[in-house]
Amino acid sequence: MDKRQLSVVITDMFKNLTPSQVSVFLKNADTAIVRVVSDAFKGMTFSSRAKLLNSQFKQQQPSLFQERIYIFEAFTKDEVAQLHSKKQEPPSDQVSKGYRESAREAE
């Protein structure tokens, strides 16, 4: 199955989430990155979203599921918009910024 066919199958698989975007990137023969953008993910942790997509995929396409690694990128529309902005503002309930972000600011 080529990338186009894989994209079609995966898009159909996740249509119940009414996604605004589904994209598939084949990193290599053994690894695919599946991005699903949907506001159905609002209020869910990233782990919960990944488990939802993983479980649905495994159930609906067990053979295809076993063929390779799938890294799931599950974002809401707002989160995707923030990914593209230069600086992300952390949510209000965040833990401390941490050294990585402070290091970035210091650059």
- Choice from 2, 18, 47, 107 touching another protein (CB under 8 A): 47
Q: Does residue 18 belong to the site contacting another protein (CB under 8 A)?
A: no
Q: Does residue 94 belong to the site contacting another protein (CB under 8 A)?
A: yes
19-51: buried (b, 16+ CB within 10 Å) or exposed (e) per residue? beebebeeeeeeebebbbbbebbeeeeeeebbe
Q: Does residue 43 belong to the site contacting another protein (CB under 8 A)?
A: no
Residues 67-86 that bind another protein (CB under 8 A): 68-73, 79, 83
Tell me how far, at minimum, the Cβ of 5 lies from another protein, in Å: 20
Cβ closer to another protein: 40 or 50? 50
